[in-house]
Structure formats: structure tokens, C-alpha cells
Structure 1
Amino acid sequence: MTHIARTFLRPLAQLVVAAQIVLITACAAPGQTGDDQRRHIQQTERQVLDELYSLQPELRNELAQAPGYAVFSNVNVNLLLASASTGYGVAVNNSGKRTYMKMGEVGVGLGFGVKDFRALFVFDSPEVMGRFVESGWSFGGHADAAAKAQDKGAAVGGEVVVDGMRVYQLTESGIALQATLKGTKYWKDRALN
């Protein structure tokens, strides 16, 4: 490896490790107690579902027939060659059982911006949902464009079908332009379950 490549890769590797540490420690829902955090996650869940239902009323029937769904709130920061996200959410099966979860994401790619978004995962089978809740790992490429501040601007998102689940994304606020290769990890929140 050349000196130039080592000089370039070392700071990038340090940035990725630092981002992972921040993500793991910062992805709890707001609130002082576990009950406060659960209430906040449930409020976020209701807001996301209400907004999606207003945009796509047929989604209400789709969720009623699905074996389960998950709602996540996530903040993504992308600075030049690295991106990082942290978030929290809940997976709910068709019997109403709730599993509170966290998420973290680290990526490498060109971009700049900060984006706050919400995501709904609709599972096609109990096995897919079980795998998501128990293993929760996904890895893939991502291309994104969003420009929104409060009620102004536009958000590019929508339905994406991946491995037996459909993902709907709502951008709350932020400006982002990025094309990254990301690793995302979803896991059970031991403190809230």
C-alpha cells in the first residue's frame, strides 16, 4: 500500500470507529426512565402511522393483514466520505406483542448533510419478522436525495421492497445528498424489553 493510501485510509478508519462508538451509545429514545422512553417510542409510532395513513390510506388494511410491522426514528449525518445514523423503534406483531429496538448505521460514501427520518417496515411473513427482531442485520447500498426543513421542501422516499418486507420512509427535516454503502444493525433494547 502506498504512503498516500495509508495517509488517506487511516483517518477514515478512525472516523468510522468513532462513529460506531457514538452510535452505540447515543441511540436511546429520549426520556429519563424506561417508561418515558417507551411512551416516546409509542408516540413516534402513532405519528408515523397517522402520517403514512394520510398519504396512503390503503396502508391501514395492509398493516391489518400483515403478520407485523416495525417503526423506527433515525437521525443520519453524512460528512464527506463517512455517514452515521442512530435510532430507536418498536416491532409489533399481529397479536400486539411489542419488542423495543435500537438501530445503528455506519457507511462509507460521498455526501454531505443531516437528515431526520422515520421508517415503517411491513413484514410479509412471521418468519421474516422473527428474523428481523432476532437477528436484525441488513447491509446494502443506498442512494438518497432529500431537502426539507419543517413544512418547506420536499422529501424523496417511499416504498422499497427488501427480503420479504416493505419499507416506507418519511423525512421529517434535513438536507441530504448522498450515495453510500451502509451497514445497518437493528437489535433488541435490553433496557426496555
Structure 2
Amino acid sequence: MRNCSFAIFVLSALLIAGCASSSGKSVEQKRAAVESMRSDVLSKLYTQKPDVQQQIASSAGYAVFDNANVNVIIASFGGGYGVAVNRQTGAKTYMNMAEAGIGFGIGAKDFSVVMVFHTSAALQRFIEHGWAFGGNADAAAKHKHQGGAVAAEVVVDDVTVYSLTETGLALQAVLKGTKFWVDDELN
């Protein structure tokens, strides 16, 4: 039974990661979709928290990801895509992400994550190693512009993380690991 549960967990995480990929057929179309998502997410974040624009302007770099997440009783899994931008060089690194966790929760949500790297070392470490581990507690009941969401993220290692819920209904408290990795096709 335990092997069956683990197999379902892994399969679900892979399905979520596949669904949360950048759209388009060619490399150029996929990059354009990621850039459009990045621009939209930053505009929404700046509207909600105008001070973040200055924080990003004075940072070593930032990353923006689109993520879909599902919580089923004691498991949480999700996947997405995004881009990390080095503010000093202008270099962009297109990336993917997948996450899995344990804890109590139920629901599904589509959300975006913006990470602000306050040092070059933190940005480089993220691009090269990409792991993140932490706790997350949130509640979301939102569809487009209706409803609301609150989220709490642990911020460490010279990185500030902002989460914006697009749509979803979720109540969760989980301990999760997230893997970010370079997208070989888009770089």
C-alpha cells in the first residue's frame, strides 16, 4: 500500500509539472510565453506592493515563476516554470520547478512566486543548485479578481520571496522541498 501511495504521489507531481509548462511550440514561442508571464507577474506585484520595484532595482537579481499546486490530505505537490534574471549582467536563465511536501491540506491553486536575490552569491547558488526547503502555511479562495489569499513564506539566505495567488481554493500547512533546475531547451 505504501508503494502504491508513493507511486500516485510521484505520478501526480509529474502531471502537475507537465501541466504547468510554458506554452508554445518553438523555443522562441516558449521564451516569449515565459517573458510575458514574468512581465504580468511583476506588474501585479508592483501594484500590490510598490516598494518591491525599488527592492528589485537594487538587487543582484530576481526570479519569477508560475506554479500550480495540489494538496491532497497529507501530501502537496506542484510544478512550474520561470526565469532568473541577473541584474548586473542582464543574463536570463530559464528554469523549471517541481515541489513535494507533507502536511495537512486540501485544494488546488495557481500562483506565482517572485524571489529577490540580495547578493550575487545567493543568485548564483540558486541557478547552480536550485534547491529550496521550507515550511508553508496558507489559505486561498480566489478566482481572477474575486476572493483573496494570504500566504506566509520563510525567507532565508539573502532571498526575499513573494507569492501571488491567481486562482484556487486551498487550505494547507506543509513542510515541502522545491527543486528548481535550468531548462536545457530554453537556454
TM-score over 0.5 for the pair? yes
Q: How far 1:20 sits from its partner (Å)? A: 4.1
1:77 counterpart = 2:54: no
CA RMSD of aligned residues (A): 1.7
TM-score (norm 2): 0.92
Larger radius of gyration: 1
Alignment correspondent of 2:112: 118
Residue 129 of structure 2, aligned match among 135, 143, 146: 135
Alignment correspondent of 2:29: 36
Cα distance change, pair 158–38 in 1 and its aligned pair in 2 (3 A): farther
1:51-130 to 2 correspondences below 5 Å: 51-94=44-87, 95-130=89-124
TM-score (norm 1): 0.90
The runs of 5 or more residues in structure 1 that have no matched partner are: 1-6
**1:188 counterpart letter in structure 2:** V
Residue 145 of structure 1, aligned match among 135, 139, 147: 139
**2:26 counterpart letter in structure 1:** T
Return the alpha-carbon distance in structure 2 between the equivalents of residues 81 and 23 of structure 1.
17
Q: How far 1:26 sits from its partner (Å)? A: 4.5
1:2-13 to 2 correspondences below 5 Å: 7=1, 9-13=2-6
**1:190 counterpart letter in structure 2:** D
Classify the secondary structure of the residue corresponding to 2:179: strand
Classify the secondary structure of the residue corresponding to 2:23: coil
Cα deviation per residue 1:108-148 (whole Å; 9 max; x = unaligned)?
Answer: 22211110001100001000000001100012222111111
**1:141 counterpart letter in structure 2:** G
Classify the secondary structure of the residue corresponding to 1:29: coil
**2:184 counterpart letter in structure 1:** R
Alignment correspondent of 1:49: 42
**2:10 counterpart letter in structure 1:** V
Q: How far 1:17 sits from its partner (Å)? A: 2.5
Identity of aligned residues (%): 45
Please tell me whether the aligned partners of residues 158 and 170 of structure 1 are also in contact (alpha carbons under 8 angstroms).
no
1:175 counterpart = 2:169: yes
**2:122 counterpart letter in structure 1:** V
**1:105 counterpart letter in structure 2:** E
Cα distance change, pair 116–104 in 1 and its aligned pair in 2 (3 A): same
Please tell me whether the aligned partners of residues 81 and 109 of structure 1 are also in contact (alpha carbons under 8 angstroms).
yes
